[in-house]
Structure 1
Amino acid sequence: MIAIGARPWSRVTSELFRDYAKRCGATFILQTEEPSDEDFPLPALPDSPGRAHKRVYALKAFLPWRLLAIEGYDRVLVVDDSCCVKHDAPNVFDFIEPGAVGLTETSHAHAELSFKEIRKYLKARGEPEIPYTPEHYMNSGVMLYTRGMADAISPERILAAREMLFAAYPHQTLTYYLLNSAKVPLTILPKAFNRLPASTLPAGEWADMTDATPYLSDDDDTYIYHVTGAFKRRDVLIPSLALHLLAKTDPERAQALAATMPPPTSAAPAPVERPGIARRIARKLRSLVG
């Protein structure tokens, strides 16, 4: 799990995945610091265009490479710290073959935005085209890597393609290019391994929610809930969801962790619209008359 920066909810989500790793016979690693510039010499990149913290997005490819190629792990599951795994989730490592990458499908509209950036990149360099398959475009909050494909995400390849990090979806664009240009076999994991909480609701109803637990039902077949940036109050929603799931197996630990969580921040006030010129003139005239 990668949790770099101010990510207080990772205190709870990491406990869920620590337990899950134990059930899967895996080693849990919580990455809270960036590697040194010597280990990963990615030059400083401006926040704009695209998103800020581009180096952290690149680490989502570099860190699994290091675990596979340098530290000798056979398989590596990389999850965002905004993911919450259920206690009865099956072993995700059983879903992958050696040499492949496991991923979950996401928005085809997002895929087309990334494909546009990749096409532009390849054309500028005279490189051959790669397959553009929306069904193979991933949400990279949950990614499963195996040792046989590690060369595809090597630091050299990441650095050479760092321009991809300026895309609207930086890691997804970079990763799609790296995997497909290296012809890595792709395994489409069940969507249950990467699904929004309350995903059956219209977007307008869940974007502002602070508690998803009322929408969790016994027949919900989700294994991993992913609270993406589309949720505006993740600082409240993620801890409440993670603590709810942890309490099902260890209520005492959930209660102790709840006591350590910082209070939620106040919702940002709506911006005040500057009055139009006509209103400003009328206001000035009223002040002169008064």
Structure 2
Amino acid sequence: MQTDEIQKKKIECYLQKMLSLYKALEKFDRVLLLDDSCLVSHTAPDIFEQVPRNQIGAFPESERADFRSYNYDKKFILKKKKININEYYNTGVLLVSKHQREIFSPRNLSKNLELFKSKYPDQAYFSYISAIEKTNVNKLHDEWNFMPVFDYSNDSNRQLTELPNDHLRLVRQKHIIHVTGYYKKRDKIIEQINLALYNDQNVRNSLRPR
């Protein structure tokens, strides 16, 4: 596939992700959007009770100084929109209410298509639109969007196929674990975390329908 085609497919994919919220909120009062690489712990509290209806729940990735996406998109948004953002959110976990639906409307998306050429398209868009609209964002603790990257400075970690045991113990304490594309073989990391969370017989029994 040609580079231009890949870029077009990527843009379409992330546009659909944002548009899916707009469509879902036509039917539902509140929607929790999770990336397909997220795992939810069976011990997690009800996130809908943690975030007020007048706020969007999102993790402020800009508070993770070691993550590279914030610095990249901050410069990208400044170049494209001439606006310097202070807050940058990860969109792997988003809790949105019906009255916030317009943020993800086709009209708003089409006005900001250039942001979807970023390395992190949906995050660039949401961080920009929430800044200019002064959106009331509830800053989720990282236990609601925990990305198990423990040393960004060491690129060899990207090749890991499983997490060390001390890291896995920390992961077990979180509510939602979000395995990003940082890992080249993230399917293996997801499989390991899934087993760690759900491979206990008592856990499996508690999750069966009654």
State the TM bucket, normalised to the shorter chain: 0.7 to 0.9
Offset, 1:237: 1.9
Offset, 1:110: 2.2
Aligned residues: CA RMSD: 2.7
Question: Partner letter of residue 78 of structure 1?
Answer: L
Correspondence list, 1:1-290, <5 A: 46-48=5-7, 52-68=9-25, 70-71=26-27, 73-106=28-61, 107-108=64-65, 109-123=68-82, 129=83, 132-133=85-86, 136-197=87-148, 199=150, 203-204=154-155, 206-212=157-163, 214=165, 215-217=167-169, 221-248=173-200, 249-250=203-204
**Aligned pairs, how many?**
196
- Tell me how far apart the structure 2 counterparts of residues 122 and 219 of structure 1 sit (CA, whole Å): 37
- Tell me how far apart the structure 1 counterparts of residues 179 and 85 of structure 2 sit (CA, whole Å): 27
- Tell me how far apart the structure 2 counterparts of residues 239 and 199 of structure 1 sit (CA, whole Å): 18
Q: 1 or 2, which has the higher helix percentage?
A: 2
**1:156-208 residue CA offsets vs partner (Å, 9 max, x unmatched):** 11122111110121111011122222221011001111112363797446422
Offset, 1:144: 1.2
Gaps of 5+ in 1: 1-44, 124-128, 254-290
Q: 1 or 2, which has the higher strand percentage?
A: 2
Q: Alpha carbons of 1:52 and 1:230: their partners in 2 closer, same or farther (altered >3 Å)?
A: farther
**1:237-258 residue CA offsets vs partner (Å, 9 max, x unmatched):** 212321332223217x9xxxxx
Q: Alpha carbons of 1:241 and 1:182: their partners in 2 closer, same or farther (altered >3 Å)?
A: same
Cα pair 2:33 2:92 within 8 Å, conserved:
yes
Pick 1 or 2: higher relative contact order, CA cutoff 8 A, min separation 6.
Answer: 2
Cα pair 2:51 2:57 within 8 Å, conserved:
yes
Amino-acid identity (%): 26
Larger deviation, residues 206-215 vs 173-182? 206-215
Superposition TM-score, scaled by structure 2 size: 0.81
Cα pair 2:85 2:127 within 8 Å, conserved:
no
Cα pair 1:75 1:146 within 8 Å, conserved:
yes
Superposed structure 1 runs of 4+ greater than 6 Å apart: none
